[in-house]
């Protein structure tokens, strides 16, 4: 199975706004397949197209029922859009395949409603109050150039400062 190279912080492509996908053609299906294979290779639970250098609005996620649901089936979402979120938040430790070695607790809405197109071009909707909703918000953020580290408090940011500096050095020497 074809897999793709990951882009790492602070690659500027991670800060670009991704473009809407006009049709679910074979190219998009192949990209989704390769992204799922890449997510498995990296043992991730979600991946957004900009993380493999493609600024199109496509994400893949594991449809996890809870945080231990490791056999959850994968799902590809084309042009995903957050329709509504609850006011109440919950905090959970996040990481990102594009920011290796960095983890921090992020507050996100409990209830998430997302609309998207499946690979057959049908409009679909997911409502979730758990880890899946959190993964969706994290991945959809990638399509708008937002990273989970953007949400951290200054105290949290100071804790990961040296790791981010190291990633910047690795990036500029690559």
Instruction: List residues near Co ion by CB under 5 A.
Output: 96
Q: What's the closest the beta carbon of residue 26 comes to Co ion, in angstroms?
A: 26
Distances (CA, A) of 6 to 34, 90, 118, 139, 154: 12, 29, 24, 14, 28
Q: What's the closest the beta carbon of residue 3 comes to Co ion, in angstroms?
A: 17
Q: Which of 27, 30, 94, 139 is catalytic?
A: 139
Q: What is the C-alpha separation between 148 and 99, in angstroms, rounded?
A: 9
Closest CA to 112 of 142, 135, 79: 135
Q: What's the closest the beta carbon of residue 96 comes to Co ion, in angstroms?
A: 3
Closest CA to 75 of 116, 27, 42, 104: 116
Residue number, 28 or 137, with CB nearest to Co ion: 137
Q: Is 139 designated active site?
A: yes
Distances (CA, A) of 76 to 39, 63, 80, 144, 168: 12, 10, 10, 17, 30
Closest residue to Co ion in the complex (CB): 96
Residue number, 24 or 132, with CB nearest to Co ion: 132
Q: What's the closest the beta carbon of residue 7 comes to Co ion, in angstroms?
A: 11
Active site (catalytic) residues: 139
């Amino acid at each position: 199975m074809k897999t793709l190279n990951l882009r790492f912080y602070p690659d500027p492509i991670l800060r670009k706004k991704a473009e809407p996908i006009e049709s679910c053609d074979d190219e998009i299906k192949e990209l989704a397949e390769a992204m799922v294979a890449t997510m498995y290779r990296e043992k991730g639970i979600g991946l957004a197209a900009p993380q493999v250098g493609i600024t199109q609005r496509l994400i893949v996620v594991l449809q996890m029922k809870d945080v231990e649901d490791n056999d959850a089936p994968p799902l590809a979402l084309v042009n995903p859009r957050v329709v509504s979120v609850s006011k109440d938040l919950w905090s959970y430790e996040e990481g990102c395949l594009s920011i290796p070695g960095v983890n921090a607790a992020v507050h996100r809405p409990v209830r998430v409603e997302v609309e998207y197109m499946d690979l057959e071009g049908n409009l679909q909707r997911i409502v979730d109050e758990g880890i899946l909703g959190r993964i969706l918000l994290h991945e959809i953020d990638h399509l708008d150039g937002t990273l989970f580290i953007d949400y951290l408090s200054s105290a949290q940011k100071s804790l990961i400062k040296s790791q981010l500096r190291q990633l910047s050095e690795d990036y500029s020497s690559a």
